[in-house]
Amino acid sequence: MAHPLSSLGIVHTAISLVPLAAGLWAFRRAGRIDPRTVLGRWYVYGMSASVLTAFGLSSTGGFNAGHAIGILTLLTIVVSCYAHRFGALGNLRDYLETGAMSFSFFLMMIPTLNESLSRLPPGNPIGNGPDSPPVQTAILVALVLFVAGVLYQFYRIHRRRVPPARPAH
């Protein structure tokens, strides 16, 4: 049987719904999470609060892989939020911002899938931790979707920059 959620676990789960919803909504509306938009700010603030509350959670009693993913997620968000200020990158800034923000969303999906599949349905969870085949399969699917999504996002950025073809005379 799955372990019950602690009070902090319940708060963390509720907070974590904010970046999940904001990220999905941003992908649906704009094809990306832009940290300069209202949805992007909800995502950034929600993700930051989610990661910070996760630091108080540990099934092993200390620092674990989930905490490392949280630190990497925060670093990725910081890079994304400040990417447009890296003038030396020129046109690569949009790619860095978009790729980093999408990567932070993928990173969020790793513990989300693990915890969800290890707890649901109650009484007979689909998975039983990060090493279980259903959890690993779900994370692999998320990775494939992330790579395909980022490639599509990069294609869209590239297409915005390519001038339209001139008609032949």
Mean pLDDT per block of 10 residues along the chain (169 residues) reads: 73 93 95 95 96 81 83 96 89 94 96 90 88 95 97 93 68
Cβ neighbours of residue 155 under 8 Å, at least 6 residues apart? none
Kindly state whether residue 168 falls inside one of the protein's structural domains: no
CB 80 within 8 A of CB 47: no
pLDDT of residue 19: 96
Tokens of 132: 């279980």
pLDDT of residue 1: 44
Kindly state whether residue 95 falls inside one of the protein's structural domains: yes
pLDDT of residue 140: 97
Q: Which domain holds residue 98?
A: 7-161
Kindly state whether residue 166 falls inside one of the protein's structural domains: no
pLDDT of residue 66: 83
Nearest to 9 by CA among 55, 46, 71, 43: 55
Kindly state whether residue 103 falls inside one of the protein's structural domains: yes
Kindly state whether residue 51 falls inside one of the protein's structural domains: yes
Number of domains in the chain: 1
pLDDT of residue 86: 85
Kindly state whether residue 86 falls inside one of the protein's structural domains: yes
pLDDT of residue 3: 61
Question: In a 10 Å sphere around its CB, with 0-12 CB exposed, 13-18 middle and 19+ buried, how is residue 32 labelled?
Answer: buried
